[in-house]
Every structure is written in structure tokens, then in C-alpha cells.
Amino acid sequence: MSRPRSPSELFSAVRGAPSAGRAQHLISVRLPDELLQRLAEVGNDEGLAMSDTIRLVLERGLAGRKTARKEDK
């Protein structure tokens, strides 16, 4: 039986590019295994660490949502 892996071990990149002077906040989220695997795929494809991947996916999703709202009006 293999030992449980920490979520960050699913990502090949250890550290991403530093945020350009932006304030940062530490948050904690619970994710199902399937979603964590999907995030790891995105991060590994783009060479990003876990926190950078989550930030990127959130930024893309929120930008897309803003665009969709403008189109609905």
C-alpha cells in the first residue's frame, strides 16, 4: 500500500514565478481528488507549482465569467 501523497507532490514544479509585488493571502480549500488531479495536469502542462496553478485557473475562470456577463447584458 502506498502512502498518501500531499497535494503539492502531484505538481512537478516546486516553485513558480513570484507575483510581481502583489499582496498575497494564504487560504485553505478542500478539493475532491478528481479536481486536484485536473489542477495538477494543468500545472504540470504549464510548468507551474500548485499555488501558481490555482491562481492561474481562478484568474482565467473569473475573467471568463466577467466576459460572459458583459455578453449577456
Tens digits of per-residue pLDDT, 32-72? 999 999 999 999 999 999 999 999 999 999 998 776 666 76
- Residues 6+ away with beta carbon under 8 Å from 68: none
Eight-class DSSP state of 7: G
- pLDDT at 1 (0 to 100): 53
- pLDDT at 45 (0 to 100): 95
- pLDDT at 44 (0 to 100): 95
- pLDDT at 13 (0 to 100): 79
**Which cell numbers hold the place of 57?**
485557473
Q: Which of 13, 7, 46 is nearest to 29 (CA)?
A: 7
